[in-house]
Amino acid sequence: MHSHILPEMDDGSESVEMSVKILNTLKEQGVTKICFTPHYYTHNESMEDFLKRRQHCFEILKPHIPEGIEVCLGAEVYVTDIIMNNKSLHPVCYGHSNYILLEFPYQTTFEGQSYDFLMKIINMYNVRPIMAHIERYDAMIRDPGLLEDLENYGIKFQTNANSYFDRATFRRFKKLIKRGLVHYVGSDVHNLERYQPEHYKEAFDLISKKTDPEVVSGICHYSKKVFDAATK
């Protein structure tokens, strides 16, 4: 659901060789469907230029994608007011779907002006936001009520696999999991050292052990729903 595997695209994989190693590492853990979500910084680059770069990097990698892995293109969209200059956000959604992975400045409170801005994005562009790595926002991770309010508007929440190995963060995750507020787990893998891909399966094993195996089934269901919509 969240990865930086496209070679030489952002601060993730630096080469085709590294990308293939990451893909094989994920495949060894049973991962067969992967979304490529490179950073799209709306204040630094036009959507047209981003899409051209993304396609170029994808074409370089495509012949080397290991057999048995299905992929789709998306983006981790960094939200600034400049995003409203675009006529549509669907080109940076997951594939052919209207699901979009959003990243806000980490100090965002999602109240007042920032809340209104998020609602404006939903209503103007007809997209279904998935909030990336919610553990990075104090406002979100500390207030399940805020997440429940946002979920009423169709917003879903993604967590990073490596964050489950921090005890304090996992305690907060457990509270959110009990309230059905963790919908996706992403590797957020950049390379073989940062956000190691092998943590992905380990995170699911930990969730299953410390909460309920049905939680993992639910997360897989949500992820499959997005991937199927992206690749239909």
Q: What is the pLDDT of residues 7-30, one digit of tens each?
A: 999 999 999 999 999 999 999 989
Does 208 reside within a domain? yes
Domain that holds residue 58: 16-231
Tally of domains within the chain = 1
| pLDDT score, position 89 | 98
10 Å CB burial of residue 221 (0-12, 13-18, 19+) is: exposed
Does 5 reside within a domain? no
Does 181 reside within a domain? yes
Those residues whose C-beta lies under 8 Å from the C-beta of residue 136, and which sit 6 or more positions away, are 106
* Mean pLDDT value across the chain: 95
Chain center to CA of 31: 15
Does 6 reside within a domain? no
For the stretch 42-92, pLDDT in tens is: 999 999 999 999 999 999 999 999 999 999 999 999 999 999 999 999 999
Q: What is the mean pLDDT of residues 195-217?
A: 88
Residue among 118, 185, 179, 178 nearest 154 (CA)? 118
Does 3 reside within a domain? no
Does 169 reside within a domain? yes
Does 97 reside within a domain? yes
| pLDDT score, position 151 | 97
Does 8 reside within a domain? no
Q: What is the DSSP letter of 6?
A: S
| pLDDT score, position 194 | 63
Q: Are 95 and 230 in contact (CB under 8 A)?
A: yes
CATH classification at residue 98: 3.20.20.140
